Structure 1
């Protein structure tokens, strides 16, 4: 149905809603907001003030703002949706769990982990009452709670949550579902952070096996798995294996991503780190410089990540005994760090030490 064919305001509202969905799926977020808001405006005129359809509209608007990174606006919309749902729905309706989950996600993105945890746990409480015990949504909640504990550095709690999520997914999902790969990957990341490298490697490889079956051969998630395995081998000091994994990750990213995507820069940076450890300084330099080229396009000029690369390039020149070049890059790093970080940040002290070291050599 076209807008000019809408026979009444309900039809018109539905049309605006559908246009909002289309624009959202196309990534055209400003236009999606505009259409969702028009749909909501009509609903507010024609429906009772606490109708569930209003909650759905606020939820949709919140989702768009979340994708745009406008977290305070997303939070406001999600909370308005939840207020209506609390009045319109039974206290343990699954839609309430969905709202608490969405609010938790916004808090997670904002780095407010205690608030995220509280929202995710409220969502889980409702799901335990409203859903069968092995419903996939429960697995998602346990996974989300694990992500928060992971960010908070509470790795044993994160591991417990991820493993509970995996148990449910093994029952609820087909054996090679991407959700299982996600669980194995997250478990691997926690073991990695805990220094349990053999357990981490086993989990990462299980994740990769599933992804190879479940996903197209150049899917970005495969690149992410190879990257994680590469980082693990790097931490284990197995640099040849690390290099092989990072190069495989880069190959996939070159096919799957735009040419100046920040994840390409990360791969070049990781490859540079490996070459540096192997003492292959000219190759390290080449990788760091390629990474820096992309970062300069993708990031604002005083972003701390740029300074990190200038510092890394300085370290390579220092190891090559090219002290003037090393000093030049250290000073570039220092200038950005001083503009972008608080004065007592350890990165500022680190680059100051590097400058002092190179001055002693000159």
Structure 2
């Protein structure tokens, strides 16, 4: 996840290609696709798009039809991130035509493009088209071709489930997640994927108010990530936050506070104090401290959040106004005025725990 370092190394690789290889080689195209992934991860979508277009031109010249289609899918993904939905649909349709022609109508690659199209149409409010593409993808994944990797099918099913969830078809979404789980639960080396499916199950249960089931799914995901050595990842921190929210719903407030504290520690380390995910955990922790009667601790956190939001969004932003209202209530309980230049949250945290 060290994307700046990855970008430097990939740039060096591209420089070597320019110096020692023929122009526009297939190897250079592969590195441009890698650079596009790095830019996408850094949310520099325009630069990612440029690299993908250059890679596509090389593959077209080399007659690599399937590789061009795969790049078209990646280009569609970038257009989605830029909310350029018509262009995304065009890129996905190009890829779909090629994959159907070269791999057959029932190949998983075709189903994955159906997933992308379903997502586009869901986001643009064309729910009938979205449902149709979901159904087509599910038909393929339910009867996969021989030799298809179980994790690839499970990943596709997980994507379909998320779209059905967005379409408010929670029962269908849960059924599909269980199909995905069945495919990979006993597959060696797939702890992280299984944990991801467990986490999505937990979210589904949470949304429909089945908090006991949600807690069980989240706890299973936490246990799997700990077993696979992923207990310091961003995903793990977010998972602890979700488990904390479930604990709140089950009135296990002290347990929730511990989980939020664990999530805060990880996300501070991995994302920084100003990241939106970290700020969300701070807010949850402040509310939990308030519920436990730790008004002073809650106030310090909210003051810190408010300061950051004012700096980033401006004092007139609705989110800032909401934070001010929450803080005013706590300050009234604490019997003091807002400290504009008091201790920051960084001073509140135990340095030994922040690591």
Name the TM-score class by shorter chain: 0.7 to 0.9
Q: Which moved further from structure 2: 215-224 or 171-180?
A: 171-180
CA shift in 2, pair 1:339/1:113, >3 Å: farther
In structure 1, what is the equivalent of residue 12 of structure 2? 34
167, 171, 180: which one aligns with 2:153: 180
Q: Decide which moves more: 215-224 or 344-353.
A: 344-353
Q: Does structure 1 residue 192 correspond to structure 2 residue 165?
A: yes
Distance 2:62 2:181 in 1: 44
Partner of 2:78: 106
Corresponding residue for residue 237 of structure 2: 265
Check conservation: 1:311, 1:351, Cα contact below 8 A: no
Residue number in structure 1 paired with 2:26: 56
Structure 1 contact 246–267 (Cα < 8 Å) conserved? yes
1:7 counterpart residue number: none
Q: Identify if the C-alpha distance between structure 1 residues 161 and 254 changes in structure 2 by more than 3 Å, giving closer, same or farther.
A: same
Identify the residue that residue 339 of structure 2 maps to in structure 1. Answer: none
- What residue in structure 2 maps to residue 327 of structure 1? 299
Q: In structure 1, what is the equivalent of residue 51 of structure 2?
A: 77
Task: Provide the rounded CA distance (Å) in 2 between the counterparts of 1:285 and 1:244.
Answer: 18
Contact 1:139/1:165 (<8 A) preserved: yes
Counting only pairs closer than 5 Å after superposition, residues 239-258 of structure 1 correspond to structure 2 as: 239-258=211-230
CA-to-aligned-CA distance 1:118-149 (integer Å, 9 cap, x gap) = 32222223334444322332222222323444
CA spacing shift, 1:351–1:319, aligned 2, 3 Å: same
Q: Distance in 1 between matches of 2:194 and 2:62?
A: 43
Scaled by the length of structure 2, the TM-score of the pair is 0.79
Shift of residue 283, structure 1, vs aligned partner = 0.9
Deviations along 1:238-283, one digit per CA (max 9) or x if unpaired, are 2222111111101111122444211111111011101111122111
Runs of 4+, deviation exceeding 6 Å: none
Match among 176, 189, 202 for residue 230 of structure 1:
202
Deviates more, 1:245-254 or 1:118-127: 118-127
Q: Please tell me whether the aligned partners of residues 272 and 284 of structure 1 are also in contact (alpha carbons under 8 angstroms).
A: yes
Local SS of the residue matching 1:44: coil
Unaligned runs of 5+ in 2: 335-355
Distance in 2 (CA, whole Å) between partners of 1:248 and 1:119 is 38
Which residue matches 2:327?
A: 355
- Kept after mapping to 1: 8 A contact 2:30/2:55: no
| Structure-1 residue corresponding to 2:182 | 209
Structure with bigger gyration radius: 1
Which blocks of at least 5 consecutive residues in structure 1 are unaligned? 1-26, 46-53
Alpha-carbon offset, residue 289 of structure 1: 0.6
- Measured at CA, do residues 209 and 313 of structure 1 come closer, stay the same or move farther in structure 2, by a change above 3 Å? same
Q: C-alpha distance in 2, partners of 1:135/1:55?
A: 29
Q: Aligned-pair RMSD on alpha carbons?
A: 3.0
Q: Deviation of residue 222 (structure 1)?
A: 0.5
When residues 344 and 227 of structure 1 are mapped into structure 2, their CA distance, relative to the original with a 3 A threshold, is: farther
CA distance in structure 1 between the aligned counterparts of 2:327 and 2:242, rounded to whole angstroms: 24
